Structure 1
Amino acid sequence: MTERRAFAIGAHPDDVEIYCLGLLLKLQDLGWAVGWAVATDGQAGLPPGAPAGLRRTEAAVAGATVGVEPVLLGLMDGQLVGTPEEARAVRAAIADFRPTVLITHSTDDYHPDHRTLSRLVAEACPPETALLYAEPMLGSGPTPERLVDITAQYDRKRAALSAHASQSAPAFVPAFETWSGFRALHCGVRGARHAEGFFYRSSVASRPALALLERALSI
């Protein structure tokens, strides 16, 4: 496998930015094609009377800060249960991007939408594609298998996160900054100030893709 393409799928409009945007930007800096999809419109995360489509607009603005146009799947926020329609939407997004590396939520994430999407992505993931699960929010799960130094990418990650103003970005961004700083202490890279954590789902067919990713991360 020679293509270098990384794609993430998050349940809500700010999920990719929270969990794995640093890794995507690190790969983008190394010449990889990167992109992401948002499964739902995130409307359940808004107060009553909020403008329809507000979080979709924020997702587009966040993507524009790093040169990516997120794919919006238009599924129902708070109601992901693994229907055939949901499975088809996830499978189509993956097939359209043809990723070498695919990233999504952890299988034991705290949020039911995240867990459902994790299962849908795993079921749709091509056997030759390396699948990574992002660490649950603020370390609410087991210790990650792989910590990635994102110090050089952190300012861009923070700018993208800040585009989600409806989610009280000034309040939650410092919390994630503290956590990424904590993970940087464990990532084994001298001078690292921010890091993201991941788990691998490996198979014989995906080993070449995983090796390609590891070579990129070792640069």
Structure 2
Amino acid sequence: MNILCIVAHPDDTEILCAGTLIRYIQAGHAVTIAIFTDGSMGDAVIEPAVLKNIRAKEARAAADLIGANLVWGDVIDEHVFPDAAQRIKMIDILRKADPDIIFTHSPNDYHPDHRYVSQLVFDAYFQKGLPHIPNQQMPACRFGKARVYYMDNLGGIGFSPAEYVDISDVFELKKQMLACHKSQFEAMKDLADTNLFDMIEVQARFRGMAAGCRYAEAFTRLDAFQRGLTSRILP
């Protein structure tokens, strides 16, 4: 299968979905990590033009660590909007990945970039398979019944999981992926008084407690027309 994780920022994947992606790769599936923005606004000191390049390299290193494909959307960080231009970009990202499964942000997550990426995925879903959408760079992919899963919210706030993935055996590799995003550890400490390793440890342990394992990632499935609702497909 083709697995796509489409997120707003570099490191969103590692925080919320990396363990599940690792399990898919270990099972022989193809994984694409698509990052919609350039991450350029995520530091109070480093200039955006410099930070953009740093974060692109960090994202590449994290994807390479597990053998995932990387797609770089290059929208300016903090400037995601569900408008026509960005829908065109999202359609092309979906077409490039031709996914059987799509992971993305929950519609009620705390950050507007997260929420609007989620909205753009929803809006572009059918159009990825329609060959006559104007101004697209990529040819239409399969129209198929790709499953869409929403990732946990940061801190689990306002999120009621419907399905869990046991990531106990791959949690250390998830941490290694997150460690590739070196620029964010100091920035998150300064801006939000947050230690990223502590954050993923607490959340994965809490979700694991509910799921009956050591560490877990939590998801809800988008139940909508022609989204493939007849079977569980998570690892």
TM-score (norm 1): 0.89
Letter in 1 for 2:211: C
1: CA distance, partners of 2:31 / 2:68: 8
Given that 1:102 and 1:125 are in contact with CA atoms closer than 8 Å, whether structure 2 keeps it comes out as no
RMSD: 1.8
Letter in 2 for 1:194: Y
Letter in 2 for 1:168: F
Letter in 2 for 1:70: L
Q: Which residue of 2 aligns with 1:79?
A: 79
| Residue 212 (structure 1) shift | 5.9
Residues 155-180 of structure 1 show CA distances to partners (whole Å, capped at 9, x for unaligned) of 11110001111111792112211110
Picking from 180, 200, 204, the partner of 2:204 is: 180
| Residue 137 (structure 1) shift | 0.5
Aligned residue runs from structure 1 range 123-134, under 5 A: 123-126=123-126, 128-134=145-151
1: CA distance, partners of 2:224 / 2:12: 26
Aligned residue runs from structure 1 range 41-52, under 5 A: 41-50=38-47, 51-52=50-51
2: CA distance, partners of 1:213 / 1:125: 18
Given that 2:36 and 2:75 are in contact with CA atoms closer than 8 Å, whether structure 1 keeps it comes out as yes
| Residue 204 (structure 1) shift | 4.8
Q: Are the structure 2 counterparts of residues 212 and 56 from structure 1 closer, same or farther at C-alpha, using a change threshold of 3 Å?
A: same
Stretch deviating more after TM superposition (152-161 or 111-120): 152-161
Q: Which residue of 2 aligns with 1:30?
A: 27
Aligned residue runs from structure 1 range 51-200, under 5 A: 51-52=50-51, 53-126=53-126, 128-168=145-185, 171-188=195-212, 192-200=213-221
1: CA distance, partners of 2:224 / 2:157: 26
2: CA distance, partners of 1:203 / 1:67: 31
Q: Unpaired runs of 5+ in structure 1?
A: none
2: CA distance, partners of 1:73 / 1:33: 19
Letter in 2 for 1:28: I
1:202 to 2:223 alignment? yes
Q: Which residue of 1 aligns with 2:233?
A: 213
1: CA distance, partners of 2:214 / 2:112: 31
**Matched residue count:** 208
| Residue 205 (structure 1) shift | 2.3
Letter in 2 for 1:43: S
Q: Which residue of 1 aligns with 2:17?
A: 20
SS at match of 1:35: strand
Q: Are the structure 2 counterparts of residues 82 and 211 from structure 1 closer, same or farther at C-alpha, using a change threshold of 3 Å?
A: same
2: CA distance, partners of 1:176 / 1:48: 25
2: CA distance, partners of 1:30 / 1:68: 13
Letter in 1 for 2:233: L
2: CA distance, partners of 1:108 / 1:41: 22
Given that 1:125 and 1:131 are in contact with CA atoms closer than 8 Å, whether structure 2 keeps it comes out as no
SS at match of 1:78: coil
Q: Which runs of 4+ in 1 moved over 4 A?
A: none
